[in-house]
Amino acid sequence: MPLHDWTDRSGWSGMHDVWIVELLRSIKPLLPNPYRAYIGSAPAVAIGAPDQKPDISVRQWEIEAESEPAVLPSARLMDAALMEPDEEVVSIELDEQKALLIAAHGQLIAAIELISRRNKDRPASRAGAIARYLAYLAEGAHLLIVDVHRRPLGFSFAEALRAELKLPPRECQTPLAVSFRVGEPASDGGRLLATWCRALTVGEPLPTMPLPLNVNSRIAIDLEATYSRAAVDVYLS
C-alpha cells in the first residue's frame, strides 16, 4: 500500500501501535537463537536497561499496619487553605514512546522506532529524541528509525544525528527511513558507523531496510508489507 500523507491525517496513534506489532510479527521468524524481539519502553532502554528494569535500587520500607502518617509540627499549624495548590492543570505528558527491541544474552542489540509527531513538534521534543537515539548508538545498539511525518519542514533526524556524530553532511529529508550499524573499533578511536538512508515518498511503496544484528549479519525489514497490513487493520484507504 502506498505511503499516506500524514501531514493533516488523523489516526497516527492507532497506526503506530498496529504497525509496530506487525513489525514484531515479521521480525521474530527471522531471528536466529539467541536473539529475541519484543516491544518495550524506549526511554528506559536508552539508558541501558534492555530488560526494562531501572538501573537504580528501590528500597521498600515496612510500615506498621496501625501507624499513622507522620505530620511535621509546622504542617499541624498551617491553614488548610495553604495546603492546597494554587492550581492543578494538565501541563506535561510523559514520553511513553514504544520501540521494537532486539536483545541477546541480556544485552540490547538493536532497536526500531517509529517516530511520532510529538517526538519533533518542539525543540525540546527533538532534543530528547536525538539524545535517546545517540544513547542507543553509544551503547553499541544498532538502530532503525522511520519517520513518515513531513513536518516540521527543513528538519531531519537523519541529518541532525549525522551532525551530532560529526559525520559528513548528507541530505536525507523527511519522510525517511534511516538505519545505523555500530561496527568495530576504529584505528583512531571510536567505533565505525555504517548508515543507510532512504527517502519515503507519499503515494509510493515503502522500501525494505537493513537492520544489523552484528557487523556481519543483518535482517531485512519489509516496511511496505508491514505498513500495508497495519493500514488495513486501522481502516486506512
**Integer Cα distance of 114 and 98 in angstroms:** 8
pLDDT at position 51 is 40
Residue 105 backbone class (left: φ over 0; alpha: ψ -120 to 50; beta: rest): left
Average pLDDT over residues 30-36: 96
pLDDT at position 235 is 85
Cell numbers standing for residue 221: 525489514
pLDDT at position 184 is 87
pLDDT-derived band at 1, boundaries 50, 70, 90: confident
- 137 CB contacts (<8 Å, ≥6 apart)? 143, 165, 180, 182, 193
pLDDT-derived band at 39, boundaries 50, 70, 90: very high
pTM summary value: 0.78
Q: For 154-202, what is each residue's pLDDT tens digit?
A: 999 999 999 999 889 999 999 999 999 999 888 777 889 999 999 999 9
pLDDT at 29 over 60: yes
Cα–Cα distances in Å, from 55 out to 49, 175, 231? 7, 35, 37
Report yes or no: 3 and 228 within 8 Å, Cβ to Cβ: no
Domains and CATH numbers, the chain: 12-50+94-233 (3.90.1570)
pLDDT-derived band at 90, boundaries 50, 70, 90: low
Q: Which helix (H) or strand (E) holds 123?
A: helix 123-138
Average pLDDT over residues 57-63: 31
The more confidently predicted of residues 31 and 86 is 31
How many residues in the chain?
237
Q: For 109-122, what is each residue's pLDDT tens digit?
A: 999 999 999 999 99
Q: Which helix (H) or strand (E) holds 158?
A: helix 157-164
pLDDT at 62 over 80: no
pLDDT-derived band at 89, boundaries 50, 70, 90: low
